[in-house]
Structure 1
């Protein structure tokens, strides 16, 4: 007797986005970047944003078959204050601010580990270190991942996207849901 097993569906990788240092660098790297005042969970800040980043990230995610997700202390404010200024739609948000983090681990890392639930992911961030990588490697709900360090002085650029694209292309072609 044959049984019908549901076909495992491919799992789309995630592209996790930080804001400060990644999309909002410490200094204005070039003429295409624009200053704004933006409300965050802890106050109003001056940010420098590149309106072309949205298009680049959407095209990148589309080519990679990946889903963009906010992994930033801006949390839901990123959808209202950052996304429209760079041309991104509203994205899912990993709520990271409620976590205090363990010694040596960035407070965003444990909520990210829970959120990804085995999906492969690339994380653009400027503030993670080897302890965060070790935490993710040892966490039971984390599968394949790559942290792309973005220097906070200049922010995200094509070089970072090429690194992420190469890593995503190196993944096994069929990521199946672990259900």
Structure 2
């Protein structure tokens, strides 16, 4: 029987693409780009060194972002990532009756019982409690500061958590 690698759900805005810090553009109102082909100088804020670090983790990388499949076209090449799977998420901004983040239920469903890491700038205590109660496997909800985004140190923390969870 083949054991699957842990999943790593990867957000874009506020995670790979820092937002909200001094001199940075605000997050788009609906959380996704208006046109993936338009010039976006803020994309230069993405640290290309993160791609190789993420690829070095022993997990399956999955986009978990309002960018959906456009992340493969616009973000992946800037950070050196190959085409990744995209989590099946509800439309951005759909409210949850229990106050969960718009991605939380979907990510737990997609992960099934596999260990997973969720890297995002918006993770609440409600999300953490839900994952603790509803996900049968180990999970790391790794929240980053949106004005900084994911860093090499953050990837190292994730790598430490993933050790021992490899198939």
Band of TM-score, shorter chain: 0.7 to 0.9
Aligned position for 1:112: 107
Which residue pairs with 1:79 in the alignment?
72
Corresponding pairs, count: 151
Give the Cα separation in 1 of the matches to 2:32 and 2:19. 19
1:154 aligns with 2:148: yes
Superposition deviation, residue 53 in structure 1: 1.8
Unaligned runs of 5+ in 1: 1-7, 30-39, 175-179
Is the Cα contact below 8 Å between 1:116 and 1:142 reproduced in 2? no
Per-residue CA deviation, residues 53-108 of structure 1 (Å, 9 max, x unaligned), is: 2122112x2xx2x1111111111111111101111111000122335433321010
What are the equivalent positions in structure 2 for 1:1-179 lying under 5 Å apart?
A: 8-26=1-19, 41=32, 43-44=34-35, 46-47=42-43, 48-59=45-56, 61=57, 64=58, 66-98=59-91, 100-139=95-134, 141-171=135-165, 174=167
- Maintained 8 Å contact 1:23/1:49: yes
**Partners of 1:142 and 1:80 in 2: CA distance:** 33
Q: Do the aligned residues in 2 keep the contact of 1:22 with 1:125 (CA within 8 Å)?
A: yes
Distance (whole Å) between structure 2 residues aligned to residue 137 and residue 120 of structure 1: 12
TM-score, normalised on structure 2? 0.80
Q: Which has the higher contact order (CA 8 A, sep 6+)?
A: 2
Q: Distance in 1 between matches of 2:77 and 2:136?
A: 30
Find the residue that maps to 1:23 and give its secondary structure: coil
Q: Check the 8 A contact 1:11/1:119 in 2, yes or no.
A: yes
| Structure 2 stretches lacking a partner, 5+ long | 23-30
Would you say the 8 A contact 1:148–1:163 is kept in 2? no
Alpha carbons of structure 1 residues 42 and 103: separation in structure 2 relative to 1, 3 Å: farther
User: Which structure has the larger Rg over C-alpha atoms?
Assistant: 1
More strand by share: 1
Q: Distance in 2 between matches of 1:9 and 1:170?
A: 16
